[in-house]
Chains A and B, each alone.
Chain A
């Protein structure tokens, strides 16, 4: 479904990703883990088109999407839930969801998508007339995910969904992501919370200083001494 081949990317003089190759099959959940500054967020941004790759190719469902603008890539079926949630704080919850369905094809399926999102996240339905900025951190993250679902994506990029959440909320959120997965969405998730995320996904990539250091099945990776010491057994 998604295939990155030798992708190099960065900002200005700085290169954050070196020659990264990665694939995600339809129906899979894949995690990218690694320390701060490993280039995980850059990886998400280059896939969703917020930055253009300097080299390498990105293919999605048989189309080359590398270097296409973000507003075009979302229309192809990739929704990016950015780091820090980035909801529109002064808009209501309902208007945030409406913006998720900004593109005409998504707008036509609006009612159907909205019912689906409200079924997944009932709290969003309760709070639909509230300003999004007044929601709790966990609710904001649900809104960010719900907003992404409104575009009718097939692949969802989740960047640090548990960031800044209380431990109880983190567990609930992972449960919700599991349910999103069961709905048939393919997921590529970046997480600091390695122990939790490896329980959620099928495969994982370990990224260090912009390069893929290790990849494999999630359970196998979680068993690696090296990973256990460095990331899991905190």
Chain B
């Protein structure tokens, strides 16, 4: 029998991981909902931003908040770049070609990072204490990352519900053509969406680099998981992705403690496959 304290610790860690995963999934989902394209290379953009924070903070010695802001800006620029250089020219071609194009970007970014920075694992070392709550050690870095992820998601929620352009983004994801009839230039809405999605990748990068080491294949660890969460929540469904992120992270964390880290992922993928059969439209899909 496993000591309940380990289970509790795993549950807390799962919750903290879930915040970051939810953030990543919302960013990917936002772009998919509006532009109808899954950026396969989304987490590889995060990887590039993580390197940026690493160099700014660890190599050049700037404070972490400078690195974080730079990462958000870089993410937004990368998002715009992906849309303008890769998506725009193939916007009206078959979905599979669009997938292949962003998949190609993934290999490009991985190779590019390997070429420039080798396969060394690099991390930002912050002198953050560990907390003890009820005898459970909790990493302050994770706690901060979780809190900021929640704040950014709250900000995203307010942006999408309280501003004109945010409401327009939701409207476009429901009916692109009708929104053009309202006077919204779709290309402009796509650009704003890509920039916001990219900026979220930048935020996630800053929150990840204080917990994990970055290497060129970082995207391979979090990319499929993020995509899976989006599908599980129902592609384009923000609330669904949010719920699915925590479900997955808890399965991984608790499964990891009961069996092993690998088993945690195995169980998560099994849950995913089963859920796809049971609820193909996503966790929160309405019956229609």
Contact = CB atoms under 8 A, between A and B. Distances in A.
Most buried by B among A71, A106, A107: A71
Most buried by A among B167, B174, B178, B186: B178
A88 B174 contact: yes
Contacts of B181: 48, 50, 70-71, 74, 79-80, 82, 86
In order of increasing CB-CB distance, the 3 nearest A-B pairs are: A103-B183, A86-B178, A70-B180
A69 B181 CA distance: 9
A67 to B, nearest CB: 14
Contacts of A69: 180, 185
A70 B177 CA distance: 9
11 contacts: A71-B181, A74-B183, A79-B181, A88-B174, A88-B179, A89-B174, A99-B167, A102-B168, A102-B183, A103-B183, A107-B164
Interface residues of B, number: 17
Contacts of B141: none
Interface string B156-169: 00000000100110
A86 B177 contact: yes
B175 A86 contact: yes
Contacts, number: 67
Contacts of A50: 177, 180-181
Interface in B45-80: none
Given A99-B167, A102-B164, A107-B164, A88 B183 contact: no
Contacts of A71: 180-186
Contacts of B168: 99, 102
Contacts of A95: 167, 171
Interface in A83-124: 86-91, 95, 98-100, 102-103, 106-107
A99 B166 CA distance: 11
B166 to A, nearest CB: 10
A147 interface: yes
